Structure 1
């Protein structure tokens, strides 16, 4: 076992493991705080769930805007600066929340937190893509998912213990984690933004082209189709953390602590099996695998509309988690491979829409259905939408067979670097 761990460690550059460890610390702070936001808002300001929903919607708007600016600035200013800027400002506003006494003021503060919290998102993803070769990106994002789920397993338990003393301590812990990560980023990690030198040697494919900013991204119709289909998939997946616990509680009197077990099982499965599954599926077509993952989503979420027993609720979550472990690593990798190196931040920023837009509208739509119609309809629709997404991914396989190959612009840039640095060719 030790030999396998050592082998896996040696397969990835040291800077990737640094990013992984630092990301774990940051995500741990996030998961200490986030599960208890709704409880904090309702108890601190004496408001209901509608106001909590408004808070989340404002955060979502901030995330959407921040991600777009962050993507462009990542390509211009570099990865390291954007990550440090986002960490420091978002940590500062986590402390500010403690001193907010009016819900209207909180709306403004969380808008800034949403902006700053997501402005560094494209830079983080771009840094991982920068340091990993194309063939290692799927496994790399799989390892990052393991890290995230390990934080998701530990964080809520720590947060629950800390919240017994004061909710304010949760914000302090989140801010402390961000400051620690900022210090580590500053002293440990180098800038990873690729240094392109196409101005010295012009190739026919790249000469004469101007930086089109987001216009170039929005002209990439295959990528936009991928984003649209992914948004449908995420729209359903997001119900796991929002609609599902309320549905199970109100429809079947499912205890909250047992739903905690469901989520813990989900996170533990990812920690234990994500890397193995990523290794097993990497030989197959990426879009076909994501289509399979969405079929598993359809079956798992659909089961909540047909079964009423606790054991079947756990079986459904196991099936959903299997789908998640197939879908998630491929999604980020494919998005990165669509992007030319000089537009990587922008592409990854647009990819964030797949999570932000469903967060804004998915929970609201599910709430309207639950309050005005048979709540089982949600899971019937979930089945249909996931099958639509699976069909969309299969269609993408037909028109874009090799999404695991980097954008041709990346190849052109590498050719330029090889011409400028003959020793690279000799080393190969």
Structure 2
């Protein structure tokens, strides 16, 4: 009986979304599976293959984050000008070739150059994918739709590192090959099974020049409501990312928790998202988005602050569960919110600028946490992370009316622009 109800629930979820959406979900799973087979072992490969220290590796991946930001900016503009489909395909194919290049270069200097190139091209397709999801799904389905993509990504993180670890026991080269094959297969799926989703009303307009397309970023930066939303996201994400960058070292060095136990925490995080993201997304998709952002960020603050207050493994598990629930509320809501605020002919560029809500915390957060852990009480990292998230939650509440007016204005503009 339970199994029958479970199958019926899966059929109901499947029938709620168009075929193109599920094709993109399947392709994303394959691509992310290949990436998660490689990425967890990339630092291990670099230090072993080229005999370099963590300082060089940290600098390398920091610069990779910078080139990734440039890639998203380029990809966002080209997505709005050339369309979604071909930008996704281009990003996948070049990313696959770059993975192979990383596996065959013989010196650290060459690897350094290839990795910077990978950071640039691997991010080009990101805004296109986000815009494609927003194009395919009606507004009321976007929050749960982005939630489904999070389930797929987390399922890949459950499976990919296990497969990658088995392959890496013999050689690292199969990891690079697997990532390249996965990217190429996904590009083929997109090419064969997905139609261009850029709105026809946009395509029917006279095309901007390439220069005008990039100048369009100034219009995004002048959208004060959107920039304030990004600012609140930066506060929130700077705290949240500490569970990926700082928590493992903190648990090991401050509380004597082994790396394996930290790995179990992260696996629990991913498994919980796989099991609960879809029902949670369905519960929150009709509620006020900014209040949901505030709720999720408040849960971040509670969970992160808990790490500074407790010293045994069971409370660490509870703290991670609290953060994971917040994550399942925040992540799909934020992506759907960007799609709501953005004009349909500028979705790619809005998605690219939204990437700053991740790239800035990724660059600043680990540095600040490292300075605190090396020079002060390590618990201050978690108090600070909690305070940042509390501030972010307050900002989302204060922005609620402003964003609702912006969304209403965008909806009225779309109605006027729609063909009779």
Could you tell me which residue of structure 2 aligns to residue 329 of structure 1? 332
Maintained 8 Å contact 1:334/1:403: no
Q: How many residues are matched?
A: 410
Q: TM-score, normalised by structure 1?
A: 0.92
Report 1:334-413 matches (<5 A).
Answer: 334-401=337-404, 407-408=410-411, 411-412=414-415
2:126 pairs with one of 109, 121, 131: 121
Could you tell me which residue of structure 2 aligns to residue 307 of structure 1? 310
2:89 pairs with one of 84, 93, 101: 84
Could you tell me which residue of structure 1 aligns to residue 12 of structure 2? 7
- CA distance in structure 2 between the aligned counterparts of 1:402 and 1:139, rounded to whole angstroms: 23
Query: Aligned in 2, Cα 1:211/1:148: closer, same or farther, shift over 3 Å?
Result: closer
Maintained 8 Å contact 1:340/1:409: no
Query: 247-256 vs 380-389, which deviates more?
Result: 247-256
Maintained 8 Å contact 1:299/1:319: yes
Considering only aligned residues, what root-mean-square deviation do their CA atoms show, in Å? Answer: 1.9
Could you tell me which residue of structure 1 aligns to residue 209 of structure 2? none
Does the alignment pair 1:137 with 2:142?
Answer: yes
Per-residue CA deviation, residues 14-42 of structure 1 (Å, 9 max, x unaligned), is 10001001000011011111111111111
1:25 pairs with one of 27, 30, 33: 30
- CA distance in structure 1 between the aligned counterparts of 2:103 and 2:413, rounded to whole angstroms: 46
Report 1:88-127 matches (<5 A).
Answer: 88-127=93-132
Maintained 8 Å contact 2:77/2:213: no
Maintained 8 Å contact 2:96/2:179: yes
- CA distance in structure 1 between the aligned counterparts of 2:324 and 2:372, rounded to whole angstroms: 25
Query: Aligned in 2, Cα 1:406/1:189: closer, same or farther, shift over 3 Å?
Result: farther
Could you tell me which residue of structure 2 aligns to residue 426 of structure 1? none
Query: Aligned in 2, Cα 1:406/1:66: closer, same or farther, shift over 3 Å?
Result: farther
Cα displacement (A) at 1:200: 8.0
- CA distance in structure 1 between the aligned counterparts of 2:22 and 2:408, rounded to whole angstroms: 23
Per-residue CA deviation, residues 83-105 of structure 1 (Å, 9 max, x unaligned), is 11111111111111122222222
Maintained 8 Å contact 1:337/1:406: no
Cα displacement (A) at 1:398: 3.1
Specify every segment of 5 or more residues in structure 2 that has no aligned partner in the other structure, as ranges: 1-5, 207-211
Query: Aligned in 2, Cα 1:199/1:164: closer, same or farther, shift over 3 Å?
Result: closer
Runs of 4+ with >6 A deviation:
197-201
Q: Which has the higher helix share?
A: 2
Maintained 8 Å contact 1:234/1:358: yes
Query: Aligned in 2, Cα 1:210/1:275: closer, same or farther, shift over 3 Å?
Result: closer
3-state SS of the aligned residue for 1:400? helix
Query: Aligned in 2, Cα 1:329/1:17: closer, same or farther, shift over 3 Å?
Result: same
1:220 pairs with one of 220, 223, 230: 223
